[in-house]
Amino acid sequence: MVHALRRAHRMLAADGLVVDLHPTAAESAIEVGAEVTGFVAAGDAIERHAAADSALAAVLESGLFLVDQVAAFTFYTYADTIEELREYIEENWRDARLDDPTVARARKALQRSPGARPRSRERVVVTTLRRAQMR
């Protein structure tokens, strides 16, 4: 990760920016309407996201970049059924799975709110780094 950021530094023009998007270490929730039915069991995701934070910290410490701006947002992924959402997450998110109780609670919530679509909720941070002026 640090290597990739160092390579980015070489590729960037003097006034160039690195823009990094990555999820926070917070657990991703499964929701039906306003109801949280459980959380995604995401394997080593917390460690991976922490490693991304560490890589950013390392290049800041090295003086290659300066933090320009930071913003956060919520990223939702919707499906038509909880089974479809489970299949999508387990196929596309690394080492992630939905446990049976979360799925069962979602099914019941969908019965109570037939118009709702199940969704996952992730909190994501976007950080821009400005290339530091080297002496």
Task: Name the residues that contact another protein, by CB under 8 A.
Answer: 1, 3-5, 7-8, 10-23, 52, 55-56, 68-80, 84-85, 88, 117, 124, 126, 128
**Which is closer to another protein, CB of 1 or CB of 60?**
1
Shortest gap between Cβ of 25 and another protein (angstroms)?
A: 14
As beta bridge partners, residue 72 has 125
Pairwise CA distance, residues 103 & 55, whole Å: 35
Task: State the minimum distance, in angstroms, from the CB of residue 32 to another protein.
Answer: 15
The smaller minimum CB distance to another protein, of residues 12 and 132, is found at 12
- Cα separation, 114 vs 96, in Å, equals 27
Nearest by Cα to 120 from 42, 37, 43, 31: 31
